[in-house]
Chain A
């Protein structure tokens, strides 16, 4: 765990480049520091391995103040990947990966075995690449070696300073995918600096949006997207960003919150009346009125009403369809749309996870509304620019 406590850095003694930062980074999390250039994100990161010394506050790693540690030892136990890769051109790929292990006096065989293992991990064939020199590799391959080098002595913490910003977009995407996969295997605590919001949303378990040396918002990517704390974050995220990341949208974001319902003991005639009033042909049958938690029992549509339905003393509970599909609040929009398409549904009720309590209803209409809102927003945004 890395903790910042009132962490500050000033070069001139007057203005703080990093300004009394408080932040906790949990083990195994990939935390992205993002902001415009000059916001202090890189300075913050470099204070973790003391390439830059703080002028105020402290950094604790697993409860220990790093200012009390030997900076050389500290750095050997923290992986470091930089934008320009920084592979030593006079050393072979293998020697580059083994550098930290060499500094830590590992014996040669153990080093070699480890670098072969790491090359495989970053999808480079050890036999083919271990004796090559960095200038014989493409940019993407070089950065793979850079990542392997950071993992060499199996550090708990890895710092990554815009590692993928110098490669072409295609390679960048591949490297990002690989990092996600890699991280799911190695579960390191990673501090990742970038100015690319797409990258942050894709990689981060948490994102810290920085401005003027302060953290404006420190949240999950989903929260950053949906609940930006102020205009700066919203602007930085970009209003239409949500629509580029549909996997970030869940059923609860697109559902209609007060769907038309009918109580279980009501008659078909009453149900028809509700349909007419609410201008719908789909009712959820529930066990309680609006002001109480409503358990979903089934659904009725004109089809159920039409048959045996119009018989006077039939109740909803008798005629409703019971096996109607549902989704939970946390089902992603992509999955919701897939289910609706496969089952040929126009409506799908949303229930609370683990219970049958009705929380909303997704209709074609509610989806269209959401999309319309987004389009209007982005049009307005464009005009404003």
Chain B
């Protein structure tokens, strides 16, 4: 049997690869977007109360610890299979790094900044907007970056619950014993993770205020 080489195989599936990459990005992007929308305010809110902070971070930690496949399995009876479930589970995974980094970033702002800000007559909202968030932004962004990169990896597993994405090539390839098919999913997934990480790294640098860049 004449086995086609990988490159030819890949090019013949190119349009499929592109559409699955888009799905992959949609799942990850939507999950991270929702996690930012909810995680950042939670992270900021819990800086005001240590007890609440401990509990919230504890719950997020537990979510993070659960194996992804188990979490998918637990959620199927509640949400059925498909795209929505994938987004929801990835959202839960993204929450911890985002909440944790937001919290750490805000709490890590030097006390003297807070004192001088308050001493100059800033309201709590001004302090948050003009001092705490700008100074915590690099740390928050690092959390978003970690969450995104982890999610790109975990999203490949989402193919198992019928959400699509680059994982579907990999699982199909495994069941058919077709290495080319596996690689058609695996290589773009790896490159995707690296490229997204690089882009987010650039953004992280750009939003780091000039006066605090190393």
Contact = CB atoms under 8 A, between A and B. Distances in A.
Could you say which interface size class chain A belongs to?
20 to 34
Contact of A80 (B119, B126, B135): B119
Contacts of B118: 51, 75
B94 to A, nearest CB: 26
A166 B117 CA distance: 19
A89 B138 CA distance: 13
Contacts, number: 71
A204 B209 CA distance: 39
Contact of B119 (A82, A87, A91, A135): A82
Contacts of A76: 120-121
Contacts of B135: 88-90
B211 A91 contact: yes
B211 A90 contact: yes
Contacts of B117: 86, 88
Interface in A67-92: 72-77, 80, 82-92
A75 B211 contact: no
Given A91-B211, A133-B211, A86 B116 contact: yes
B121 A88 contact: no
Interface string B182-214: 000000000000000000000000000111100
A100 B211 contact: no
B14 interface: no
Interface in A6-62: 49, 51
Q: Which of A72, A76, A87, A92 has the most CB of B within 10 A?
A: A72
B113 interface: yes
Contacts of A49: 119
Given A90-B212, A134-B211, A135-B212, A74 B121 contact: yes
A149 B113 CA distance: 14
Given A51-B115, A84-B112, A103-B126, A89 B212 contact: yes
B122 interface: yes
Contacts of A51: 115, 118-119
Interface in B164-196: none
B134 interface: yes
Contacts of B134: 90
Contacts of B15: none
B131 A75 contact: no
Nearest to A150: B120
Nearest to A80: B119
A133 B211 CA distance: 5
Contact of A103 (B115, B120, B210, B211): B120
B122 to A, nearest CB: 6
A84 B111 CA distance: 9
B119 A88 contact: no
Interface in A91-108: 91-92, 99-100, 103
Given A82-B112, A84-B112, A103-B126, A89 B119 contact: no
Interface in A156-172: 159
B123 interface: yes
B123 to A, nearest CB: 6
A52 to B, nearest CB: 11
A238 B209 CA distance: 48
A134 B210 CA distance: 11
Nearest to A72: B121
Contact of A89 (B115, B123, B130, B209): B209
7 contacts: A51-B118, A72-B122, A88-B113, A88-B116, A90-B212, A91-B211, A159-B119
Interface of A: 49, 51, 72-77, 80, 82-92, 99-100, 103, 133-135, 149, 159
Closest 10 CB pairs of A and B: A86-B116, A90-B209, A133-B211, A76-B121, A75-B121, A80-B119, A84-B112, A86-B112, A89-B211, A89-B212
Given A88-B130, A88-B135, 11 more contacts: A72-B123, A77-B121, A80-B120, A82-B115, A90-B135, A92-B211, A99-B120, A103-B120, A133-B211, A134-B211, A135-B211
